[in-house]
Structure 1
Amino acid sequence: MTNSYVQENWLREMHVDKYPSEILSLTLNEATFHNETVPLAAVNFFFGNNGTGKTTLARSLKTGMGVAWNPERQPDDYTLHLYDRTFVEDNLRSSSQLAGVFTLDEQNIQVEDQIAQASKELDEQRTRRNKAKEQRDEKNQSLTTLTEKTAGTCWDKSTDIRTRFPATQEGKKKSKQRFFDEVLSQQTAKEHDLEDVGKLYSVAFDVEARTYPRLAALRDEIPDSDLLGKAITSSADTEYAQFVKTLGALGWIEQGHAAYATEARDTCPYCAQKLPENFEEQLAASIDDSYRADVTALKAFASDYQAVTSALLETPKSHQLADLKPGLDLAEYDTQLELLRVTVEANLKTLDAKIQQPATIVTLEPVQPVVEKINRLIGQANTQIDQHNTVVNNQRSQQQTCIQQVWEHLAFDLDETVTAYRRDKATLESEIAALDKEKAAADQRVHELELDIENLTKQTVNTAQTMITINKLLHDSGFEGFKLREKPSTPNVYEVIRANGEIADRLSEGERNFIAFLYFYFHLQGSLTNTGEIKDKIVIIDDPVSSMDTGALFIVAALIRELVNITLNNWGPPTGTSGRDHIKQIFVLTHNAYFFKEATYNRVSYYKHVSYYLVRKHNNVSSVLTCVRNRHDAPSLQENYSPVANAYATLWQEYKEVSSSTTLLNVMRRILEHYFLQLCGHDGANLRTHILEDHRDQFITVNDDGSQDLTDLRQAESILAYINHEMTGLGDDTFYIEHAADSETCRRVFHSIFNLMGQEQHYNMMMQQTTDFNAPSKPVGAQQTTIPSTQEEATQ
């Protein structure tokens, strides 16, 4: 946004087309002001009665409260000078001395040229510095915006992870910027398995986490025998042995005999036939020693196999395990245990069949791979248990590990966004550094030029000439009994000396105010310190002519006109004040109509650079009216008008707007005094007699029951009781009136007074008048009184 755009926007917002000066506007919210915004010009004249808020306005300008500066100006480049009652008290605490005054009067032309040349370069360097500062501030704002925007982007992209691992975000849960700073601080951007991180997080940050026992591994040594693949037979060659061998039933017969021989009692347990008497010999002869050995070995193997596998089958399934760590996936473990059971049971049946018929060849299902797989699953589970227990036993350090992994993963996820931010940030920082360097160079040059101007200024200080000038002004203003003299042995301190040579110890308020203003005036021309004044000035003058006589008032008004000329030198050719332009903006506030006219003489036409204002108060609320209207000769253009030239019409405007009875009575009293006493020449006592005695019956209403209603009469008495109470004119403060009836009754009685005095047409004219207070008007004459021919004459 360019400065020219800002100025144009300001002009549109304030509805004015004046040239913007140093302070563009003032928004008042102090005392009786309520959000009152006043557009300002280079030269500003304020008129208002005492108590309307002028002092509040002046002090707000001085303190900067509500002040809107021109964006092309730097407030630090100016000094604000306020003349008010406080200034008088601070600078004339003792009437016997006055602080030293240093001025630039009668400067050496060569030195003045040097100062002018240095001042011109100083302005250029300040402009260069301010421009660099403005551009740097814009770049800084861009950097701030970039950072905030990127932080917001990273915040939005990381929502899932931040929500999933909240304990790792301590101190950054509510602040996007702190979160972003932490992301930027990561040295490593690394992708982690979030499932693993989640497992670590669930234990590391679980205050109730504990350790769990490991699972026991299965015995993995399964017995084996080559007898399973061997047909175990007898080598005997008896007839019976050959018969049994042919049948392949030796084992079956042997087992049957062993099981049933006793109970069968020489009878075959299978066919119930009588056994031969030598059956035992034949059976024994059919079994040789080798067969017996193999069978015995086979049975021993079967017993050993059953013992080992029975132990394996006692391994508990997952639901049978005591104190099992939650979260382990043991479904496959259970599946393999079931497979082990089925395999072992099948093998035991196979072994039993082999024992029944040793001659058969059998093969056992492999158990070793199943056991090994189960042990691998147990090992995997134990690894998880060990990891869990390690985290529990080192919970604090594991929390840090988890936090680090989460932030490394965040840095990995946001790497593209962060990389773009670092690139753009580096570009902006480089530009900011260049602007800082340029500003520093301008600052250095400004400092050098200020020192040069300070040294040159010291050469132009002439306290003797200042004293002579002040004494001359005192003499010309009629204060012939006073002069200033430098205090002996105290440089730059002055004493006020009476005509008899004695030090003045008592000054009237008017004398004090006059001397203080002269002091203020020369302060503006030069400096109050012996180091010189190098900053441009903004001047605020609040009611400078309090208690002064007419001669002093005229001098002060003339000096203020000179200060106004100095201000206007900034906007056009010099106006006869040595071409000086060190005062950039001026504000003059007063309640004295005569002084206001003198100070503002011949400036109403300076529309672009000068503004007039009327400060008012209604119902204890102050407001400021900018005195601007459309020109009669060119309605599309505007012009200034003086509020003092419209004071009488303003009273009528207040009369039409005010609602408070007490305030309304004061306004009516001031209208009656000004019109009938000052302009028409009536005496206050005669006016009251004419109204209240000669026309008494016209204020009395007779009721239906014959009684008299004296309300209007009493109200007329209340209004006229204060007529000529204190003949001080329009500019005085108001005072309160007792017996204030309702506003409707007040206005009715007020209207009646004009009727009874033959001024009905004047009353109607003023009530119908618009805010164009300078429009001509011709009141009708009354009795033998001379009436002003125009409204403007009525207000002079």
Structure 2
Amino acid sequence: MIQSITLKNTATYDNNGITISNLKKINFIYGANGSGKTTISNFLHNPKNSNYNDCEIKWTNDTPYRTLVYNKSFRDQNFTNSEINGVFTIGQATQEEIENIDKKKVELEELKSELTQKLDLRKTRNKTLQNEQKQFKEDIWNIAYKKYEDNFKPAFTGFMRKEAFSTKVLREFGDNISPMLTKEELVSKSKTIFDSKIELYVSLSIPNYQDLLNINNDVIWNKKIIGKSDVDIAKLIQKLNINDWVNEGRSYLKDDNICPFCQQETISDSFKLQLEEYFDKSFMDDITLLNNNYQNYIRLSNNILGELYQIESTEKNNPNTKLSMQSFSAHLKTLESQLNINKELISNKEKEPSRSITLQSIEEQLKVIEQELRNCNKEIDNHNKIINNLTREKDKLISCIWKYLVEENKTSIDNYTKKTTGITGGINTLNLQIDELKSKIRDLNNEIIEGTKNITSVQPTIDEINRTLTSFGFLNFHIVPSSIDSNHYQIQRENGILAESTLSEGEITFITFLYFLQLCKGSISKENITEDRILVIDDPISSLDSNVLFIVSSLLKEIIKKIKDDNSNIKQLILLTHNVYFHKEVSFIDGRTEKCKHTHFWVLRKKDKSSLIQSFEMKNPIETSYGLLWEEIKNRDKSSNISIQNTMRRIIENYFKLLGKYGNDDLINKFSNLEEKEICKSLISWINDGSHTIPDDLFIEKQDVIIENYFTVFKNIFIHTDHEGHFNMMMGENQKNSA
């Protein structure tokens, strides 16, 4: 299942974004139009879209499920053509075949459940192992590194981080066979050996230049690359010395007879044939060799110069360099100059292959530079031989220091090793069991797929949709197999005429939703019928009347029940809606049950142009439309300042209109303060307009202090009319006071 959804930097979700966490099997998200519901469904439909680069879906055990999304895009995509993709479900089959498949499905669910348990156990043990490793790193750092840092710091070079130090300790614990010296002996030796400033030097690398030299000496540079001489046209081309010009022009020849040079119809098939014979395979082979040599020369020369200049830069900053810098740099500059001249010559040759060129010899400079490097390395070798004995003593001392550390902390290291070995062994065993379970699940799933291939059909889907249409009074159209493709549907009137273009918006919405429900049970491909899936449904009752609203909610409640009972390959439902009545109807369980552990409720709002979400866990925050208005007042700090005044007005109209004994002036005159009278008049003026829309003046953004002034007057209306008890009840003040 999906564990959490994070939306950030897309549509109405700002840089802070929201995270919908702790998702259950059944999830209800209520939000007004424009609050960001469609963005959620679009993201879940296509999370790889570049619009959602900062968004994230977190799956249980990092195992994604197929996600089916119903929203406006689904309706548009499935009713743009006259035909609809068929949905395969289990068709005509013997009872034995169906029972066999059902039995394997049960077995598959059991294996998946066992796999989930193993994965959870592995995660727990991995966490335990990580905690042990973390604790050991801290402990050994404090009792070994910190304790002896002042005495033996040179021995810790390369291991002065907790991770590296603890790894080194464990390796030395198993491998170190050095003699055990006392701390005093180690400190004494350290003062003598570690204080020495003599160090081993690293030899310089000598670039391999033989390939470059071979290319530099290739005979292709001197060769005039021209066409075949025994072709009629050869004499003219060679006499005019236009070999390269003609070769270049060949690329502009087209299928017509137009000459690319004079733009006249002078090119005959015979002429084209002569050109092909003139520029024969031998010519093309030479051109290929020329081009390859050109590319390789550039690459190799750049690489060698790069290596040599890196050596020059490093050695200039090396106070102990053995390289003769003045001579080396002079020869390097000369080599670079020669290579640049040769590159220019080669470039010209590549443009005009008939030209003969002679490259400057670079062999002398390369060999001089090589000798400079060899002389340097010889001095480095002599230096290193002198201090090799000292280095060996230093290495022996370092090994003895590590031996002392691990022996002093042997008990701690030994306890840690035994503990983590046991945990690691358990994890390895789990890994084998998990791999085996995955293999069994894969094999069993393939058996189910193969078993259903021969008994799948689109006809049950057609029958089910038509049965639902008929049972709910939609009698003037039905679904029929496509006349073109039996795996597609068409919507047809009773008279046989296709009905897609004449359906109402409500009819299209309803039939698309029925199609989606069948898709949830099956698949448009035979292979995916049995796979687990997640449903995301965004406002399924758009354009539907109240009767169909209850039909849709009834159909969804059947699916919800099966999800809760684990009696379906649908494992999770995320339902988003802006309709209070639909939300109330579809989330209703029974008259006795208020909460369900498999259900989670959210309210999505938009404040200051950004979407916010509030979790209500198992408690349904949507009771009635009137109650919802009061929820907006209670959560006014999370609501838009634009809409909160309108919410207050609607409550006043609903409550006092039903009460029936207070006129507008009666309410206004309850206030003696002029400012409060004006605010009260503003609140109830909307009632006189008889409008249920937000007037233009409400688009002016209210400051929080003004909103609180409105709220104070709003509350006082109830107090002055002796209905403070109703206000306290709706605001939950009674519960606070009793608490």
Cross-structure match for 2:193 = 200
Q: Secondary structure at the match of 1:203?
A: coil
1:681-700 matched pairs, under 5 angstroms: 691=664, 698=669
| Pair 1:402–1:124, CA change in 2 (3 A) | farther
Contact 1:665 1:719 in 2 (8 A): no
Cross-structure match for 2:729 = 769
Mean Cα deviation higher: 40-49 or 60-69: 60-69
Contact 1:566 1:582 in 2 (8 A): no
Code of the aligned partner of 1:85? K
Cross-structure match for 1:445 = 440
The Cα of 1:592 is off from its aligned counterpart by: 1.7
Q: Secondary structure at the match of 2:90?
A: coil
The Cα of 1:461 is off from its aligned counterpart by: 1.6
| Pair 1:608–1:753, CA change in 2 (3 A) | closer
Contact 1:154 1:414 in 2 (8 A): no
Q: Distance in 2 between matches of 1:145 and 1:35?
A: 30
Contact 2:86 2:524 in 1 (8 A): yes
Cross-structure match for 1:463 = 458
Code of the aligned partner of 1:599? V
The Cα of 1:448 is off from its aligned counterpart by: 1.6
1:478-489 matched pairs, under 5 angstroms: 480=475, 482-489=477-484
| Pair 1:206–1:50, CA change in 2 (3 A) | same
Are 2:634 and 1:651 equivalent residues in the alignment? no
Q: Distance in 2 between matches of 1:101 and 1:773?
A: 53
Cross-structure match for 1:408 = 399
Unaligned segments of structure 1, at least 5 residues: 1-21, 209-389, 571-579, 629-639, 703-708, 776-796
Cross-structure match for 1:103 = 89
Cross-structure match for 2:511 = 515
Q: Distance in 2 between matches of 1:97 and 1:681?
A: 56
CA displacement, residues 123-161 of structure 1 (integer Å, 9 cap, x when unaligned): 333344344444444444455455555555554325566
Correspondence for 1:541 among 537, 541, 546: 537
1:40-439 matched pairs, under 5 angstroms: 42-52=25-35, 54-55=37-38, 74=61, 76=63, 78-89=65-76, 91-92=77-78, 94-104=80-90, 108-155=94-141, 156-159=143-146, 163-164=150-151, 166-177=153-164, 180-181=167-168, 184=171, 188-191=176-179, 194=186, 195-196=188-189, 198-203=191-196, 205=198, 394=385, 397=388, 400-402=391-393, 404-416=395-407, 417=410, 426-439=421-434
The Cα of 1:550 is off from its aligned counterpart by: 3.4
Contact 1:486 1:495 in 2 (8 A): yes
Code of the aligned partner of 2:721? E
The Cα of 1:477 is off from its aligned counterpart by: 4.9
Code of the aligned partner of 1:492? N
Task: Please report the RMSD computed on the Cα atoms of aligned residues, expressed in angstroms.
Answer: 5.0
The Cα of 1:472 is off from its aligned counterpart by: 3.8
Cross-structure match for 2:489 = 494
Q: Distance in 1 between matches of 2:451 and 2:79?
A: 32
Q: Secondary structure at the match of 1:520?
A: helix
Q: Distance in 2 between matches of 1:137 and 1:657?
A: 39
| Pair 1:735–1:51, CA change in 2 (3 A) | farther
Q: Distance in 2 between matches of 1:204 and 1:740?
A: 74
CA displacement, residues 215-269 of structure 1 (integer Å, 9 cap, x when unaligned): xxxxxxxxxxxxxxxxxxxxxxxxxxxxxxxxxxxxxxxxxxxxxxxxxxxxxxx
Q: Secondary structure at the match of 2:161?
A: coil
Code of the aligned partner of 2:552? V
| Pair 1:559–1:107, CA change in 2 (3 A) | farther
Cross-structure match for 1:594 = 581
For this pair of structures, how many residues does the alignment match?
527
Contact 2:490 2:498 in 1 (8 A): no
Q: Secondary structure at the match of 1:615?
A: strand
Code of the aligned partner of 1:736? L
Contact 1:661 1:746 in 2 (8 A): no
Code of the aligned partner of 1:199? T
Contact 1:53 1:615 in 2 (8 A): no
Q: Distance in 2 between matches of 1:691 and 1:131?
A: 65
The percent identity for this pair of structures is 23
CA displacement, residues 511-564 of structure 1 (integer Å, 9 cap, x when unaligned): 443333222211221223220343444433221111223344333222112212
Contact 1:538 1:585 in 2 (8 A): yes
Code of the aligned partner of 2:78? L
The Cα of 1:170 is off from its aligned counterpart by: 3.9
Contact 1:183 1:410 in 2 (8 A): no
Q: Secondary structure at the match of 2:440?
A: helix
Cross-structure match for 1:667 = 647
Cross-structure match for 1:736 = 698
Correspondence for 2:603 among 612, 615, 624: 615
Code of the aligned partner of 2:468? L
The Cα of 1:767 is off from its aligned counterpart by: 1.4
Code of the aligned partner of 2:458? T
Code of the aligned partner of 1:201? F
Are 2:586 and 1:626 equivalent residues in the alignment? no
Q: Distance in 1 between matches of 2:75 and 2:698?
A: 30
The Cα of 1:612 is off from its aligned counterpart by: 7.2
Unaligned segments of structure 2, at least 5 residues: 48-53, 202-380
User: Which of the two has higher C-alpha Rg?
Assistant: 1
Q: Distance in 2 between matches of 1:565 and 1:429?
A: 42
Mean Cα deviation higher: 396-405 or 460-469: 396-405
Tell me: higher relative CO, structure 1 or 2? Use CA pairs within 8 A at least 6 residues apart: 2
Contact 2:152 2:190 in 1 (8 A): no
The Cα of 1:652 is off from its aligned counterpart by: 3.8
Q: Distance in 2 between matches of 1:739 and 1:423?
A: 66
| Pair 1:500–1:174, CA change in 2 (3 A) | same
Q: Distance in 1 between matches of 2:509 and 2:397?
A: 76
CA displacement, residues 310-355 of structure 1 (integer Å, 9 cap, x when unaligned): xxxxxxxxxxxxxxxxxxxxxxxxxxxxxxxxxxxxxxxxxxxxxx
Q: Distance in 2 between matches of 1:115 and 1:527?
A: 16
TM-score scaled by structure 1?
0.54
| Pair 1:177–1:647, CA change in 2 (3 A) | same
Contact 1:484 1:494 in 2 (8 A): yes
Contact 1:614 1:627 in 2 (8 A): yes
Cross-structure match for 2:685 = 720
Q: Distance in 1 between matches of 2:115 and 2:601?
A: 36
Richer in helix (by share): 2
| Pair 1:586–1:207, CA change in 2 (3 A) | closer
Cross-structure match for 1:760 = 721
Are 2:524 and 1:528 equivalent residues in the alignment? yes
Q: Distance in 2 between matches of 1:149 and 1:593?
A: 53
Q: Secondary structure at the match of 2:624?
A: helix
Contact 2:119 2:434 in 1 (8 A): yes
Code of the aligned partner of 1:667? T
Q: Secondary structure at the match of 2:69?
A: strand
Code of the aligned partner of 1:50? N
| Pair 1:560–1:554, CA change in 2 (3 A) | same
Q: Distance in 2 between matches of 1:557 and 1:106?
A: 30
| Pair 1:163–1:643, CA change in 2 (3 A) | closer
CA displacement, residues 624-645 of structure 1 (integer Å, 9 cap, x when unaligned): 36387xxxxxxxxxxx6x6554
The Cα of 1:407 is off from its aligned counterpart by: 3.9
Contact 1:617 1:623 in 2 (8 A): yes
